[in-house]
Every structure is written in structure tokens, then in C-alpha cells.
Structure 1
């Protein structure tokens, strides 16, 4: 006799079943290709819809240190985890006083490095700028700077990031381009346009600024889905993989993890995802090897950003 499906009160509550009682999708990691380092949640901006709620006062994730990152990189090498790329995110990475040394360490070990930044004053200060140029001279082929530009117009960008946030970002972007850095742009679907409309708008801006970027290339211009938590989103069941013609390997948590240093913690913790920093259900322990365990897609961001949105933070 078939059992009736068990009902759950509310979406994204049970790690195994959806609200309709269907089997929830999960992801088995197959390798650790990308390790994200959250350098801390402090940022010089307070964006309206920041994925991780970074502000000039939010230090819920405190500055991670060079030695703490080095221990993780040592473990990845020792355990042969297949690590290829180190991603640095925040907050604003250039606000962490240890950021340049940890970036240099990652590059000197032979990893590719991807830095997410708003390219504003923290990056443009003489000390960080000079140190970044030195790393560029040594490791240009493996260092990519991804600049957050939420829209190709200053109006929409500043509606998200605040007044006077456009011109300094453009200055930093032009400086990076002029000095030969590998660049990409992180845009967002904020204005109700189609992706084609957005790419056309960015293409015009790139031409005006004489940037070496191709707006049709998803590596040069990553457009992330809007993460409006007030809108309803479908849960992902095991049957969705076939329906959507996708594989669990397409999802970011199959090959990436993020290290964070919680305020007051004695050591960093490893999370399943860059977008879910405060949900303890996605904390996978203190070690990279131990974090390589199945992840239940039990958060709205799993649907909105990764599975249905088709996005990934990695390069």
C-alpha cells in the first residue's frame, strides 16, 4: 500500500521533503574546484539588495587572516582536493588589511584568483593599488578582477548602491583596464529588462569607455538574477533535474565551498554556498575535506539563483 506524502508547514523547511511532500533535490560534491574566501562583511557601501547584507557597520563575518587562509590552502594541497580557483568576496575585500598578502599567497601557489570588488576607494588607495600592480606584473594570466556594476546606467546603479557610487567605480574600472588586468563585470537583472537588452546596454557603455570587454561573452559580463526574497519561488525536487534538463553537477555547491570567519569564532567555518552565510543549516564544519558532503537544496536561493536562475559565482 502506497504511503500518502507527508506535508510540511512552509517551504524550504525540511531538508528531505518539499512542502508538498516530494523528495527534495540534493547535490553530491564531486570535487573542490573553487574555494571562496569571505574576507569579511564590512563594506564601504550599503547596497539596497546586497546578497550578504554587507554595510560599513556589519561585521557579523569578521576579517579572515592570511594565516587562516594559508591553513585552508595547505589542507587543500595535502588532501589533493583538486582546488583550481580561489575567489575573494566580501564585503569589500580591499578593506581587509590582510587581503593583498592572502591574494599573493593564493597566486604564488599556482591557483587562479578571482577578486570581487566595487573598484572604489578601498582598492584605489595608494598602498593596495601599488600592491595589486605588483601582483599583476607577476601573475597577470591567473588574476581576474570582477567589478560590480549593477546596471549600465548610473541612475539604476546608484538606486542600488547609493549616491555618488557610479563615478568612483568607473574610475577604478578604467584604471584596471588601462593597467592590463583581466576584467569581468558583475551585473544584475534589476531593471525589468531582458538579458539581451542588458547586454546591449553594457556593450554601448564598454565601447564608450574603451574597455577590452565583450558584453556578449558571459565570462566578461556575468548578469546575476535578482534575489528578491519577497517573491515566491518553487522548491526543487529530485524530479526537477530531468524536467529542467539539468544535472546536480551544474549547481555551484557541487564544486565550490566558502570559508567565513564568524564574529568571535576561534577559526573559520566552511559553508556550502557563497549566498547563504547566516543559515547554520549550510555550515559544513571547520575543514575542507569534511565539508565535501551532500547538500540539500533547502533554501530559496538554491532555486532562485542556482537551479532556476542558472547562475554561478565562479569564473
Structure 2
């Protein structure tokens, strides 16, 4: 499968072990599995212009992952005493998956934290009773991270769809009012204003609505770099760690893995990363143990989003 986008230098990201210049490609070992991500399915209630996973009301390339699919991985964590602290649920829109509340309960009852990435629109509100029950039992161990691309409604709606900002903000208001632990995810490169201005704009929005989120906290308000796999980026070599003064242990794949269930598959697969659900070279196995091997940084997202962008999807 040719996973290299057409505008990218075709010599790059071909060999998992050697760069186009013949240098040793950097890889990242799993130092400790702290975060397990679960893709609940690629179906979403809206279609965004630049969704990296191409979620939509029609894209079911990743099928709904069920509670029965999920429980063996929780059992493996418990049996092998893996150092997992948090399980994150992403999609698509996770609340379209009817098993999500049961999967959240299965995580929380084991003493792990749970994180849900949501657009806070109608699918989430359809699960209001189940969410309130989980809040009552587990409190801040459950976090909901709401996607607001920008604090300006027009800019958010240009990415997602007209009127989506108002609906998402209403959902965020409800979560805050009901005492949930809430975070927000925006996009750092959405306009030329810069990160400081973005955080100031979000701070004003949160203050005007009484939403208790510290916009200066990089976890409570995560601003993700843009992801365009067709933009030419440098390949990451083993020498880059010293040049950039970064450690492989700071990369997302040093502490995280993701479960997906491909359409038509009999069982889930474990992937290296939340950002690369379709690239077969990042499929590592059928169990967490099988998926503990090192990950070669052989994709533009590895370079731009993680190494150069410094982004991670968990706390």
C-alpha cells in the first residue's frame, strides 16, 4: 500500500529503518503503556473539512468497537499489571457507539481514568442520563474533552458546519453546569493570531459562560498543530533527538497505543498511534503484549505533529 501523499517528496517515508538520505530512521520504544486509546468507530454526526480520520455520517471504515471487543484488553491490563492510568475514547463521535457508557463504566470501576473526545452535540446529549450516573459514581475520574476549533463561531463553523459552534457550546455549558470534569481541544494554527491570542480568546469565552476551564493550562485547553500529510516535512533520524533536545520517551507512542476494529474484521487490532488508523505499517498486533515493540517514525505525522509539533493526545 502506498501511504505517501502525492505532494510529498516521494523518496521520503518509504523505508521504516532508513531515511531517503540513507540515515538511520528514529524509532520510539514503549517505555510504559500509560494511555490506551479506543477508537469507537469512524462514524460521526457531522463532516469536518480537515478531519484527519475522515469521519462522517457515512465512513464506517472503522466499525463500532463493542464492550465484548474491549473487555479482553482491560483483562490483559489487570492480569499483566500494565501501568495503564487512563483510557481515552475517540472516533468518529464516540457517543454514536451505544456501548460507550458501558465501556466507560468498565474502565472507571477498575480505578482507571476515562477520557472522551466529543463534539458535545446531540449524540452526547442522548446519553445524558448515563453520563450523570457515571458522574455521580466516579466524579472527576471521567473527563470529557470538547472540540471547539476556535473561540470565534464563524471560524469553528467554517471547519465543521454552520451552526455547530452554538450546539457544541450548549453541550459544553451543560457539562460545566452539571459539574463534569471538562477540557477543550482547539487548533493552534487555525489563524495567524498565534497561541497567546488563541488562549486569550478562549479565556474570554469561558469567562463569559462561567465555564471553569483555565485557558492557560495546556491540558485543560489543548491546541493541536495542523495535520497535513501532504506538506513536505523532514524525516526524523536518530541524530535528531540530540539536535532538537528531545527524548524518544516524550513521544506519544512511548506511552500509548490505540484499539481499532476494521470493518469486516473478526477482532480489534492494536495500533501505534491515534493519528494513523489506516496505515498498515502501524498495526502492531492483536494484544497489548504484541504491540509493545518499537515504532519507526515513518510517517509525516510522526515528524510534524509529534516530534516537531510537540503534540500529544493525553495528559
Deviation of 1:192 (Å): 2.6
Q: For residue 4 of structure 2, what is the aligned residue in structure 1?
A: none
Q: Give me the whole-angstrom Cα distance separating, in 1, the residues matched to 2:135 and 2:206.
A: 22
Q: Give me the whole-angstrom Cα distance separating, in 1, the residues matched to 2:203 and 2:285.
A: 43
Deviation of 1:30 (Å): 1.1
Gaps of 5+ in 2: 1-8
Q: For residue 223 of structure 1, what is the aligned residue in structure 2?
A: 223
Q: For residue 58 of structure 1, what is the aligned residue in structure 2?
A: 59
- After superposition, give the CA deviation of every residue in 1:103-151 in whole Å (9 maximum; x if it has no partner): 11111111000110000000112xx101000000111121110000000
Alignment of 1:179-218 (within 5 A): 179-188=178-187, 189-218=189-218
Deviation of 1:59 (Å): 0.2
Q: Are positions 1:132 and 2:140 aligned together? A: no
Q: Are positions 1:154 and 2:153 aligned together? A: yes
- After superposition, give the CA deviation of every residue in 1:71-115 in whole Å (9 maximum; x if it has no partner): 110011111221110000000000001111011111111100011
Deviation of 1:205 (Å): 0.8
Q: Give me the whole-angstrom Cα distance separating, in 1, the residues matched to 2:15 and 2:226.
A: 25
- Does the aligned pair in 2 maintain the 1:9–1:19 contact within 8 Å? no
Q: Does the residue aligned with 2:183 lie in a helix, a strand or coil?
A: strand
Q: Give me the whole-angstrom Cα distance separating, in 2, the residues matched to 1:140 and 1:243.
A: 43
Q: Give me the whole-angstrom Cα distance separating, in 1, the residues matched to 2:52 and 2:70.
A: 22
Q: Give me the whole-angstrom Cα distance separating, in 2, the residues matched to 1:239 and 1:182.
A: 40
- Does the aligned pair in 2 maintain the 1:144–1:182 contact within 8 Å? yes
Q: For residue 142 of structure 2, what is the aligned residue in structure 1?
A: 143
Gaps of 5+ in 1: 1-7
TM-score by length of 2: 0.95
Q: Give me the whole-angstrom Cα distance separating, in 2, the residues matched to 1:226 and 1:232.
A: 13
Deviation of 1:22 (Å): 1.1
Q: Give me the whole-angstrom Cα distance separating, in 1, the residues matched to 2:51 and 2:238.
A: 30
Q: For residue 82 of structure 2, what is the aligned residue in structure 1?
A: 81
Q: Give me the whole-angstrom Cα distance separating, in 1, the residues matched to 2:300 and 2:39.
A: 21
Alignment of 1:258-277 (within 5 A): 258-277=258-277
Deviation of 1:229 (Å): 2.6
- After superposition, give the CA deviation of every residue in 1:8-61 in whole Å (9 maximum; x if it has no partner): 951111101111111111001011100000000000011111121110000000
Alignment of 1:38-57 (within 5 A): 38-57=39-58
Q: For residue 232 of structure 1, what is the aligned residue in structure 2?
A: 232
Q: Give me the whole-angstrom Cα distance separating, in 2, the residues matched to 1:83 and 1:9.
A: 38
Q: Give me the whole-angstrom Cα distance separating, in 2, the residues matched to 1:193 and 1:49.
A: 20
- Does the aligned pair in 2 maintain the 1:81–1:289 contact within 8 Å? no
- After superposition, give the CA deviation of every residue in 1:128-184 in whole Å (9 maximum; x if it has no partner): 101000000111121110000000111110111011211110110000000111111
Q: For residue 295 of structure 2, what is the aligned residue in structure 1?
A: 295
Deviation of 1:220 (Å): 1.1
Alignment root-mean-square deviation, CA: 1.0
Q: Give me the whole-angstrom Cα distance separating, in 1, the residues matched to 2:35 and 2:198.
A: 28
Count the aligned residue pairs. 306
- Does the aligned pair in 2 maintain the 1:39–1:96 contact within 8 Å? yes
Q: For residue 164 of structure 1, what is the aligned residue in structure 2?
A: 163
- Does the aligned pair in 2 maintain the 1:88–1:116 contact within 8 Å? yes
Q: For residue 308 of structure 2, what is the aligned residue in structure 1?
A: 308
Q: Give me the whole-angstrom Cα distance separating, in 2, the residues matched to 1:104 and 1:168.
A: 26
Q: Give me the whole-angstrom Cα distance separating, in 2, the residues matched to 1:83 and 1:289.
A: 13
- Does the aligned pair in 2 maintain the 1:236–1:303 contact within 8 Å? yes
Q: Give me the whole-angstrom Cα distance separating, in 2, the residues matched to 1:49 and 1:290.
A: 32
- After superposition, give the CA deviation of every residue in 1:247-306 in whole Å (9 maximum; x if it has no partner): 000000001000000000000000000000000000001000110001000000001111
